[in-house]
């Protein structure tokens, strides 16, 4: 992974969007889907997580947490799929990623929050490793499954009144639809 500077405070120079990503990451998948939905060209920069590339000094200057994913747009660096989706929605409005209706926006944000804060972290290798080391494989799996099921139940209650093609209507929107795919 190459950057255009040796200083840890500077970011790579970019003429187009750069997406530092890992192919199996659900967070990365969400953002790739949104970029393609919006028709935005981007350069895919693979980060090999099993090889530890996220811990390299070059990647640390992009994301000190060492998490994929990272979007670089010129001199703007955004990490976290939720923040990236909001950024793309505001910066590139040619294809809406949130509905115009404030009620539907709130619903999409609620669904995304349930997934990104209550369910998705339980799929992260670092979280699973910690839980397994602390409580053993059987108890950690049972606890994770129970909490993921609670999240799905909350989503079902939240979205129960929608009889539509997608989670919150007949159009694809970034948060509830991309997060639940």
- Domain of 44, CATH number, reads 3.40.30.10
Mean pLDDT by 10 residues, the chain (181 residues): 40 68 87 92 94 92 90 94 91 88 90 87 84 93 92 93 82 59 42
Whether residues 64 and 39 share a domain: the answer is yes
Whether residues 124 and 150 share a domain: the answer is yes
What is the CB-side half-sphere exposure of residue 133 using CA atoms within 13 A?
6
- The secondary structure of residue 169, as a DSSP letter, is B
In a domain, 175, yes or no: yes
The alpha helices in 39-80, defined as continuous H runs, are 57-62
Whether residues 85 and 141 share a domain: the answer is no
Report the number of distinct structural domains present in the chain: 2
Q: Could you tell me the residue range of the domain that residue 55 belongs to?
A: 17-91
User: Are 162 and 114 within 8 A, CB to CB?
Assistant: no
In this structure, the strands spanning 70-73 and 17-21 are antiparallel
* Predicted model pTM: 0.75
Whether residues 64 and 110 share a domain: the answer is no
In a domain, 5, yes or no: no
pLDDT at 46: 95
pLDDT at 60: 92
Q: Which of 63, 91, 119 is the last residue of a domain?
A: 91
Q: Which of 91, 114, 129 is the last residue of a domain?
A: 91
Whether residues 44 and 85 share a domain: the answer is yes
Whether residues 85 and 117 share a domain: the answer is no
Whether residues 109 and 175 share a domain: the answer is yes
Whether residues 32 and 73 share a domain: the answer is yes
In a domain, 9, yes or no: no
Q: How far is CA 141 from the centre of its chain?
A: 23
pLDDT at 82: 87
pLDDT at 175: 57
pLDDT at 147: 92
What CATH code is carried by the domain that includes residue 142?
1.20.1050.10
């Amino acid at each position: 992974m190459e950057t255009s500077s040796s200083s840890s405070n500077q970011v790579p120079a970019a003429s187009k969007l750069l997406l530092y990503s890992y192919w199996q990451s659900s967070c990365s998948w969400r953002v790739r889907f949104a970029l393609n939905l919006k028709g935005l060209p981007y350069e895919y920069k693979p980060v090999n997580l099993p090889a530890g590339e996220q811990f390299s000094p070059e990647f640390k200057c992009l994301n000190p947490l060492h998490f994929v994913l990272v979007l670089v747009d010129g001199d703007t660096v955004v990490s976290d799929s939720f923040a990236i989706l909001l950024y793309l929605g505001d910066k590139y409005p040619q294809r809406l990623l949130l509905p115009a209706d404030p009620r539907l926006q709130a619903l999409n944000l609620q669904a995304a929050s349930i997934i990104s804060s209550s369910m998705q972290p339980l799929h992260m290798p670092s979280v699973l490793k910690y839980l397994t080391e602390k409580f053993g494989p059987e108890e950690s799996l049972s606890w994770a499954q129970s909490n993921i099921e609670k999240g799905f139940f909350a989503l079902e209650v939240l979205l129960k009144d929608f009889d539509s093609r997608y989670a919150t209507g007949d159009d694809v929107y970034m948060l509830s639809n991309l997060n639940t795919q």
